[in-house]
């Protein structure tokens, strides 16, 4: 049985695998944006979103 979680986006349920995919997508987006312009203010927002996803992923892995 899959581990279902409440996402950070309005209570929509997603599984751990989907969280991992979202983390990777945000990491890539942040890296690409940084390479284009290290001063881009959107980097902070992306970084904060990535932190939230990583924290949620960690919580879900701990609770199994």
Mean pLDDT by 10 residues, the chain (64 residues): 45 80 96 98 96 92 82
22 Cβ contact list (under 8 Å, min separation 6) = 14, 53
Residue 4: the pLDDT is 39
With a CB cutoff of 8 Å and minimum separation 6, the contacts of 58 are none
């Amino acid at each position: 049985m899959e581990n279902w979680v409440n996402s950070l986006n309005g209570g929509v349920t997603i599984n751990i695998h989907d969280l991992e995919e979202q983390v990777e997508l945000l990491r890539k987006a942040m890296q690409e944006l940084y390479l284009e312009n290290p001063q881009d203010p959107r980097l902070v927002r992306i970084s904060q979103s990535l932190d939230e996803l990583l924290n949620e992923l960690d919580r879900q892995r701990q609770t199994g």
